[in-house]
Structure 1
Amino acid sequence: MDKSRPPHVSTRPEQAAASLEAKLAFLARPDAYPEGPSRVDAVETHMSWVFLTDTHAYKLKKPVRYDYLDFSTVEARRLDCEAEVRLNRRLAAEVYLGVIPLVLDAAGRLSLGGSGETVDWLVRMQRLPAERMLDHLLRKGSVKQAEINQLAHRLARFYAALPAEPLAPEAYRQSLAGRIEDNLRELDSPEFDLPREVPAGLARFQLRFLQQHAGLFDQRVQAGRIVEGHGDLRPEHVCLLAEPVVIDCLEFNREFRILDPADELGYLALECERLQAPQVARWLLEGYGESSGDTPPVALLHFHQSCRATLRAKLALWHLRDDGRHPPGKWVATARDYLELAQRHADSAGS
């Protein structure tokens, strides 16, 4: 997510035959699911509810409208569910099983599939083992270099198979500059009570780097490196199975998926660093270079990491406006951590 204005839940009522409360109550019941699970665990995220059975995961989109997406109608949610399955099958084909309708029959009973009025849609997935998720392994300190090399090789194949985006170099640089300015506008808001010189200093550096090293960015465009990638490559979206899989791509806005692999891999490396695993970050970047033959300039990687950390600081603070699931102090501390990382990588890019 990378838009200048904060998300706001739409207050317009949805014309639907089943209330949201009824849908959530139904999906929390084990007998709602064809596999007959022993229990159902519900997890709320920023834009969805995920219902976990013993073997599967079912994702229901929230009926919300933000500046960068609109899930306020059943049809919009169907289209997004289909896009999520299609895009995520690029890196997790066996995980994303399809889209399933939530149906209301003539007697007013809800069911997954069957006959009646479709009142919503869910993405159906294989449930992945929590103990093999990269964020869990990083916190345990049990990630092996061979596993990261496999992941790097998988990602190198993914990017190599993607067509280059038909972008003009100047347009690419302008899009990056726009995102930097968006981040500054939000982080400079008085409501967040940040020292104004911190985000302002980061933005000055990032815009200056973009201008002074325009040739680096232009070369990446001209080499066909700008592709439609994953968009949200974080450790909690990586599962280190025998063949690594990557889930939860940013499906709702194509603009946010148009990127340089150096940006996306730098982002994953940044998150490994934040989880106190800088050696895993090094393995990832080195493994990608060896597998792909693509070795982006180190300064360029640090630039992208500084921008990503600034973006993550902004997103953390947005939770203060509409989350309510964690104490505000958590998000303020997270934002400050990311701003420290952003400055560290800005210093490295400029050195």
Structure 2
Amino acid sequence: MSAPSPLPEVSLESKVAFLRQATSYPEPCFRVEAIETHMSWVFLTEGHAWKLKKPVRYDYLDFSTLAARRYYCEEELHLNRRLAPATYLGVVPLGIDAAGHLCLGQGAAIDWLVQMQRLPMQHMLDYAIRHASASLQDIDALAARMSRFYAACTPLALDAAGYCQRFADDIEHNRRELHTPAFQLPEEQIELVCQTQKKFLQCHEDLFAQRLAAGKIVEGHGDLRPEHICLRPALAIIDCLEFSRDLRIVDAVDELGFLAMECARLGAPELGRHLLNAYSEASGDWPSPALLGFYQSFRACLRARIAIRHLHEEKFRYSAEWRRRAMEYLALAQQYLPSG
């Protein structure tokens, strides 16, 4: 018996071209909107979102093989169903038939996609903040949902010194990258922020130890931003960091403090403050204000690094947006610095 013929190599460009076509989908479809990110292509039809992972490899993830992409599609489905069970519908093969034609959900699998229910853009929290349509009742519902989520997570038994060292390593990484001369960011401000964060870590390891002892360090979402939260018709929190468990290991108030900081950046600091207070009321978890300030300052600095890193890419190199955004985050990092 002869061995089966190997599947043909199909380029990412060919897959994207196929998935841009309305006739490629098993549902009536009149228009497809394609959105490219660093790690994926997302194709929006009238009712669904279809995510194709790129065959990329970075220090922090590896999607370079078909097996890896299938694994992380399944991880994305499993992990995101914790906070958006009705949104994440399944993992669907991108196949090729006997005639060599691409097909969705049939044929021999040459790639995999996550199928999601499409969420209404006007009810995403970032859109709602920009259009002043997010209410305190929306934030109360979000706080209550996150309180239940964190309470259901298994507390992680970590060593306090090791937990603090993770932050120390990231602070140094932030400092080095933000100091890159080509980025032309303010060196004195970067040094002030990073050195103050380091000093806080050194002087207040007990605060982190208390959070660990209280069971507040869990495997959370990992990227809790307004653009990942749909307020209506049913609350859904999407797009967790499926590719790295380490990045999902967070203090509950670190994650919520990050979201509150992002609300402030979008012009709604009162919503962020209300979120943190509503969470504490719902959970009984009242963190040290100084610790919360550290977490928020650290997250803002990390986001500054992620923003300015876009200038390494040719297509972003001459855009003023990413330096502007990095400066915005640096200002927030300094604003949130704990005083003690």
TM range (shorter): over 0.9
The runs of 5 or more residues in structure 2 that have no matched partner are 1-6
Amino acid at match of 1:350: S
CA distance in 2, matches of 1:227, 1:182: 23
Does 2:14 align with 1:22? yes
Aligned to 1:184: 175
Aligned to 1:324: 315
Amino acid at match of 1:308: R
Contact map agreement 1:159 1:229 (CA 8 A) in 2:
yes
Contact map agreement 1:49 1:61 (CA 8 A) in 2:
yes
CA distance in 2, matches of 1:78, 1:261: 29
The alignment of Structure 1 onto Structure 2 pairs a total of residues equal to: 334
Aligned to 1:97: 89
Aligned to 1:350: 339
Shift of residue 34 of structure 1? 0.8
Shift of residue 76 of structure 1? 1.1
Amino acid at match of 1:101: P
CA distance in 1, matches of 2:186, 2:145: 41
Does 2:333 align with 1:334? no
Q: Which of 32, 46, 51 lines up with 1:40 in the alignment?
A: 32
Does 2:232 align with 1:263? no
Amino acid at match of 2:251: D
Aligned to 2:4: none
Amino acid at match of 1:77: R
The residue correspondences of 1:249-288 to structure 2 (distance < 5 A) are 249-288=240-279
Does 2:285 align with 1:303? no
Dislocated runs of 4+, deviation >3 Å: none
CA distance in 1, matches of 2:312, 2:273: 35
SS in 2 for 1:22: helix
Using a 3 Å threshold, how does the CA distance of structure 1 residues 25 and 343 change in structure 2: closer, same or farther? same
CA distance in 2, matches of 1:320, 1:328: 8
CA distance in 2, matches of 1:180, 1:54: 43
The residue correspondences of 1:81-230 to structure 2 (distance < 5 A) are 81-115=73-107, 117-230=108-221
Residues 117-147 of structure 1 deviation map (CA, whole Å, 9 limit, x = unaligned) = 3111100000000110000000011211111
Aligned to 1:55: 47
Contact map agreement 1:150 1:243 (CA 8 A) in 2:
no
SS in 1 for 2:92: strand
Using a 3 Å threshold, how does the CA distance of structure 1 residues 16 and 336 change in structure 2: closer, same or farther? farther
Contact map agreement 1:41 1:53 (CA 8 A) in 2:
yes
CA distance in 2, matches of 1:207, 1:339: 16
Shift of residue 17 of structure 1? 2.0
What's the Cα RMSD here? Answer: 1.3
The runs of 5 or more residues in structure 1 that have no matched partner are 1-14
Contact map agreement 1:18 1:104 (CA 8 A) in 2:
no
SS in 2 for 1:324: helix
Structure 2 length normalisation: TM-score? 0.96
Shift of residue 328 of structure 1? 2.4
Amino acid at match of 2:100: G
CA distance in 1, matches of 2:14, 2:260: 41
Aligned to 1:4: none
CA distance in 1, matches of 2:8, 2:334: 48
Structure 1 length normalisation: TM-score? 0.93
Between stretches 244-253 and 184-193, larger displacement belongs to 184-193
CA distance in 1, matches of 2:50, 2:148: 29
Shift of residue 242 of structure 1? 4.5
What percentage of residue pairs aligned between the two structures are identical? 54
Does 2:231 align with 1:232? no
Using a 3 Å threshold, how does the CA distance of structure 1 residues 36 and 327 change in structure 2: closer, same or farther? farther
SS in 1 for 2:287: coil
SS in 2 for 1:120: strand
Amino acid at match of 1:201: L
Residues 72-94 of structure 1 deviation map (CA, whole Å, 9 limit, x = unaligned) = 11111111111111100000001
Amino acid at match of 1:55: G
Shift of residue 225 of structure 1? 0.7
CA distance in 2, matches of 1:38, 1:327: 35
Q: Which of 59, 67, 71 lines up with 1:75 in the alignment?
A: 67
Shift of residue 191 of structure 1? 2.2
SS in 2 for 1:350: coil
CA distance in 2, matches of 1:25, 1:166: 47
Amino acid at match of 2:44: L
CA distance in 2, matches of 1:338, 1:172: 24
